[in-house]
């Protein structure tokens, strides 16, 4: 008998290998040191004029750069060395000022023809690249308690409006509310009212010591909604702050029920990162000053999104951001965009008191941020950098008060859905989010990252070399074929990891090393079977065929069970361990493919077409 694969099978294998080779290729091109330039807000766009200004300043300062390019909303300047990159960052920061974010970055140098196929290199994890990882916990019970407080004042108002007289309202230990009524009649009407108007409550009645109570509890769904909202709000706030840090590829993501993970790869100044992530923006609601108001009682502010446009506001603050409970963009009855704002009870009272006498006047919302900037002073001829902290205030909304405002009102007359959602986002960013705490922090210095990569790559190379030599000595020609398959396995593994844009971590590298060691197992199983069949007296061609055939189920069973362990590892692991689990799982799949199909194709091509009397195995 002869061992031959049909043409389509050979072509399919060839196709997979070429495909894998192409998608693995981007990893061969080393990253450039780069500086990324983006506008700190939408009004500041990076354009060719700015980029030219930057490159001119680099030239005049004598900092060499490789190239500069403009992509959507961002400029990228590449450098040959890390030293040039650091020098350039200072020069560029000075040139463009605070309106632009200047971030250190590593830019891939993947050729265009590969990029156009969607191929790109693997991303490096924090442990390889250096950077900061934070795990923040959102205080959800507090968020629910705050929300319940808002409901309490709202319900009190409704009961008064409906003239349902109640004695008092108590907070219960389990997070509910109990309203005490003087009569069963009032109590029952209150229950009807609440059931009709609030779907987020479970309302029940209770008689105790001759008094009549209405017990209000949030439904599980309502609690979940509040929690999800609190997390989202914090995510938005954190994203805004992280963007301001100017990190090239930040990650801000929910993890589990109440945690948020923030990763800032490649960041150098970790102290600044922590300060900015921990800081808060606030809001100030103020009235526009009347025509003849004295300048001692007024202040002039610019609009945040429209520099140059200004408004004169009263110095008195009506309420601050921590009175804002919620802000959401939506559409009014005419389909016009609007932002609905909900204040807490205290905020509502203050707002009502002020707006009572101010209908038809205009009210502004100021966005207040704590910022810091580096200024360069010349002391005795030497340039010294100094950090100066300052507050930046900008108007985000100026609207006419149509009627007396309570704890719920809306801002209309907005330009479009884009503006309304932007405004709601800013209102929320400045509003009080549920408190957050740092529960985990990992900072890896760039030198340690570089060292980890170097050692990791070296151990992969040495491990691979040892295995290749061993296989060659032990199995000779078949060993050589297995080695070719093993090399393809590595290429495929890297290709799939790149396609999944999986992050490569140190344990991930360990996973690759381990895969190399274990990947030969399938080949060893097959070869051992072939040897056995030869010993049983089968002619070489039949031995090859039956060896591959009989080893197949064993390989399948053994790999599926290993895959189970890897999947569990992925499900329960975090960060680096997940990286290990991904590498291991992908490695199991690719090694099965290369060991079974690629080796078979190679064996067929080498031995399949001729009569054999002996096998070198």
Partner 1 sequence: MMSTYKIYNFMGLRKVAAFFSIAMLVVSIGALAVNGLKFGLDFTGGSLVEIGYEQPADLNKIRDQLKVVGYNDAVVQTFGSPTDILIRLGQDHDPKLGDKVLAALQDGETQTLTLRRNEFVGAQVGEELREQGGLGMLLALFMIMVYVAFRFQLKFSIGAVAALAHDVLIVLGFFALFKLDFDLTVLAAILAVIGYSLNDTIVVSDRIRENFRKMRKESAVEIMNVSLSQTLGRTVVTSMTTLLVLVALAVFGGEMIHGFAVALLVGVFVGTYSSIYVAANVLMAMNVCKEDLMPPEEKEQEIDDRP
Q: Does 560 bind partner 1 (CB under 8 A)?
A: yes
CB of residue 437 to partner 1, shortest distance in Å: 8
Exactly one of 334, 553, 611, 613 binds partner 1 (CB under 8 A); which one? 553
**CA torsion angle for 408, 412, 416, 420 (degrees, to 10)?**
-30
Q: Give, as ranges, the residues between 575 and 614 that touch partner 1 (CB under 8 A).
A: 576-577, 580-581, 584
Q: How far apart are CA 436 and CA 16, in angstroms?
A: 48
CB of residue 462 to partner 1, shortest distance in Å: 4
* Token pair recorded at residue 291: 């025509």
Using the CB atoms, write b or e for 305-328: b if 16+ within 10 Å. Answer: beeeeebebbeeebbbbbbbbbbb
Do β-strands 319-320 and 362-379 pair in parallel, antiparallel, or remain unpaired?
A: unpaired
Binding-site string for partner 1 from residue 220 to residue 259, where x marks contact by CB under 8 A and - marks none: ----------------------------------------
Q: Give, as ranges, the residues between 425 and 464 that touch partner 1 (CB under 8 A).
A: 437-445, 447-448, 451-452, 455-456, 458-459, 462-464
**For partner 1, which is the closer residue by CB, 262 or 426?**
262
**For partner 1, which is the closer residue by CB, 227 or 284?**
227
> Which residue spans within 62-130 are E strands per DSSP?
67-71, 74-79, 100-107, 123-124
**For partner 1, which is the closer residue by CB, 417 or 568?**
568
Segment holding 310, helix H or strand E: strand 310-314
CB of residue 604 to partner 1, shortest distance in Å: 22
CB of residue 473 to partner 1, shortest distance in Å: 11
Q: Does 572 bind partner 1 (CB under 8 A)?
A: yes
* 3-state class (DSSP) for residue 288: strand
| C-alpha distances in Å from residue 388, one per residue of 271, 385, 394, 578 | 15, 10, 19, 41
C-alpha closest to that of 236 among 440, 434, 502, 442: 434
CB of residue 337 to partner 1, shortest distance in Å: 40
* Token pair recorded at residue 591: 């090694």
**For partner 1, which is the closer residue by CB, 303 or 474?**
474
CB of residue 576 to partner 1, shortest distance in Å: 7
Q: Give, as ranges, the residues between 96 and 135 that touch partner 1 (CB under 8 A).
A: 127, 135
CB of residue 92 to partner 1, shortest distance in Å: 25
Q: How many residues bind partner 1 (CB under 8 A)?
A: 73
**For partner 1, which is the closer residue by CB, 92 or 273?**
273
Q: Give, as ranges, the residues between 128 and 167 that touch partner 1 (CB under 8 A).
A: 135, 137
Segment holding 488, helix H or strand E: helix 446-499
**For partner 1, which is the closer residue by CB, 421 or 443?**
443
**For partner 1, which is the closer residue by CB, 150 or 523?**
523
Cβ contacts of 20 within 8 Å, gap of 6 or more: 488, 491, 492, 495, 496
CB of residue 124 to partner 1, shortest distance in Å: 14
Q: How far apart are CA 199 and CA 43, in angstroms?
A: 42
Q: Give, as ranges, the residues between 262 and 291 that touch partner 1 (CB under 8 A).
A: 270-271, 274-275, 278
Q: Give, as ranges, the residues between 478 and 537 that touch partner 1 (CB under 8 A).
A: 506-507, 509-510, 513-514, 516-518, 520-521, 524-525, 528, 531-532, 535-536
Q: Give, as ranges, the residues between 12 and 51 that touch partner 1 (CB under 8 A).
A: none
Exactly one of 562, 589, 606, 612 binds partner 1 (CB under 8 A); which one? 562
CB of residue 121 to partner 1, shortest distance in Å: 22
Residue 250: count of CB within 10 angstroms of its CB: 22
Determine the length of the chain. 617
Q: How far apart are CA 539 and CA 533, in angstroms?
A: 8
Exactly one of 48, 219, 554, 609 binds partner 1 (CB under 8 A); which one? 554
Contact between 405 and 355 (Cβ < 8 Å): yes
Segment holding 446, helix H or strand E: helix 446-499
**For partner 1, which is the closer residue by CB, 56 or 466?**
466
CB of residue 455 to partner 1, shortest distance in Å: 4
Q: How far apart are CA 369 and CA 283, in angstroms?
A: 9
CB of residue 206 to partner 1, shortest distance in Å: 36
Q: How far apart are CA 337 and CA 616, in angstroms?
A: 78
């Amino acid at each position: 008998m002869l061992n031959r694969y049909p043409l389509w099978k050979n072509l399919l294998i060839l196709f997979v290998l070429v495909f894998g080779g192409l998608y693995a290729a981007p990893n061969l091109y080393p990253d450039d040191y780069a500086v990324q330039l983006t506008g700190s807000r939408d009004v500041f766009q990076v354009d060719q004029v700015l980029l030219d200004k930057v490159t001119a300043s680099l030239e005049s300062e004598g900092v060499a750069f490789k190239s500069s390019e403009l992509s959507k909303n961002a400029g990228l300047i590449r450098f040959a060395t890390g030293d040039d990159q650091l020098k350039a960052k200072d020069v560029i920061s000075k040139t463009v000022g605070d309106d632009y974010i200047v971030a250190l970055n590593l830019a891939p140098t993947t050729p265009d023809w590969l990029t156009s196929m969607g191929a790109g290199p693997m991303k490096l994890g924090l442990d390889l690249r250096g950077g900061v990882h934070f795990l923040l916990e959102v205080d959800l019970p507090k968020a629910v308690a705050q929300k319940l407080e808002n409901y309490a004042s709202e319900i009190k108002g409704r009961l008064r409006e409906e003239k349902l007289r109640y004695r008092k309202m108590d907070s219960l230990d389990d997070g509910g509310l109990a309203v005490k009524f003087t009569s069963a009649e009032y109590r029952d009407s209150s229950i009807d009212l609440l059931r009709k108007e609030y779907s987020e409550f479970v309302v029940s009645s209770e008689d105790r010591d001759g008094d009549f109570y209405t017990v209000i509890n949030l439904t599980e769904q309502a609690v979940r909604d509040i929690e999800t909202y609190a997390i989202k709000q914090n995510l938005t706030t954190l994203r805004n702050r992280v963007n301001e840090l100017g990190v090239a590829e930040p990650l801000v993501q929910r993890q589990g029920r109440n945690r948020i993970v923030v990763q800032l790869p490649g960041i150098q100044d970790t102290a600044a990162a922590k300060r900015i992530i921990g800081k808060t923006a606030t809001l100030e609601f103020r009235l526009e000053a009347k025509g003849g108001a004295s300048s001692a009682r007024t202040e002039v502010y610019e609009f945040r999104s429209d520099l140059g446009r200004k408004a004169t506001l009263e110095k008195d603050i009506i309420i601050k951001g921590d009175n804002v409970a919620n802000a959401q963009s939506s559409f009014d009855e005419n389909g016009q965009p609007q932002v609905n704002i909900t204040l807490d009870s205290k905020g509502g009272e203050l707002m009502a008191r002020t707006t009572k006498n101010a209908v038809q006047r205009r009210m502004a919302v100021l966005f207040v941020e704590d910022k810091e900037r580096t200024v360069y002073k010349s002391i005795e001829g030497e340039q010294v950098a100094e950090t100066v902290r300052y507050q930046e205030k900008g108007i985000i909304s100026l609207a006419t008060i149509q009627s007396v405002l309570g704890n719920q009102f809306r801002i209309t007359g907005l330009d479009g859905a884009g503006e309304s959602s932007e405004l709601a986002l800013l209102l929320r960013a400045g509003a009080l989010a549920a408190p957050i705490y740092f529960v985990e922090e990992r900072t890896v210095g760039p030198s340690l990252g570089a060292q980890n990569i170097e050692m990791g790559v070296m151990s992969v190379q040495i491990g691979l070399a040892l295995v290749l030599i061993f296989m060659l000595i032990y199995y000779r020609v078949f060993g050589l074929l297995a080695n070719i398959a093993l090399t393809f396995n590595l290429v495929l593994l890297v290709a799939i990891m790149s396609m999944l844009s999986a992050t490569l971590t140190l344990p991930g590298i360990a996973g690759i090393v381990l895969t190399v060691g274990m990947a030969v197992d399938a080949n060893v199983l097959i070869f051992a079977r072939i040897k056995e069949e030869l010993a049983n007296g089968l002619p070489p061609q039949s031995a090859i065929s039956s060896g591959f055939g009989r080893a197949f189920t064993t390989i399948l069973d053994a790999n599926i069970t290993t895959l189970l362990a890897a999947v569990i590892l992925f499900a329960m692991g975090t960060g680096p361990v997940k990286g290990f689990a991904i590498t291991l799982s992908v490695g199991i799949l690719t090694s099965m493919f290369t060991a079974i199909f690629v080796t078979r194709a190679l064996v067929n091509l080498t031995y399949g077409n001729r009569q054999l009397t002996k096998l070198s195995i």
